[in-house]
Amino acid sequence: MFIKEESVTKLSQQVEELSKKQFQPRMEKLKAIEQDVKIRMEEYALAEERLETGFICPRDLIVLEKPVTFDPCGHTYCKKCVDSIREENFNKLKCPSCLANVDYAFRNMQMEAVCEQFLKRKSMTLSFLEWIKTLKIHLPERD
């Protein structure tokens, strides 16, 4: 009976040692993957921020809302900013960016759709970054 218990104890120790040998490398690999995901998401977020500058209204410095594009210069502003510009210039439009007289101003539906999609993606990216911050893999102390 004593020999059986001793064998079981030895086998249990061997199983534990084998588990540690398999567990530790896997945990280290998970830790490396975690770090890689964090770095890539931070790079992605920075790229998103750089992209955002193309969707900013030059007047109020927020992402374009109901964008209006001027013809012939092609500069784009929020509708509310265009209304303010028109008011300030006695019902005439002059582009604040290049000072060109505006012949025609049109609501840029394509830019509006792109800005809306950008804002949705930005929101998802920010929530994903918050989730990533909580991701932690703790390696057990080695014997």
Domains of the chain: 2-134 (3.30.40.10)
pTM: 0.65
* Residue 103 pLDDT: 94
* Residue 111 pLDDT: 96
Least Cα distance to 38 among 138, 137, 129 occurs for 129
* Residue 137 pLDDT: 58
* Residue 8 pLDDT: 79
Q: Is 94 left (phi over 0), alpha (psi -120 to 50) or beta?
A: beta
* Residue 140 pLDDT: 56
Residues 130 and 121: beta-carbon distance below 8 Å: no
Amino acid at 131: W
What sign results for the dihedral spanned by CA atoms 113, 119, 123, 125? positive
* Residue 34 pLDDT: 83
Per-position pLDDT tens, the chain of length 143: 567 788 778 888 887 887 777 777 888 888 888 888 888 888 888 888 888 989 999 999 999 999 999 999 999 999 999 999 999 989 999 999 999 999 999 999 999 999 999 999 989 888 888 887 777 655 555 54
Residues 45 and 129: beta-carbon distance below 8 Å: yes
* Residue 141 pLDDT: 57
Give the separation between CA 17 and CA 19, rounded to whole angstroms: 5
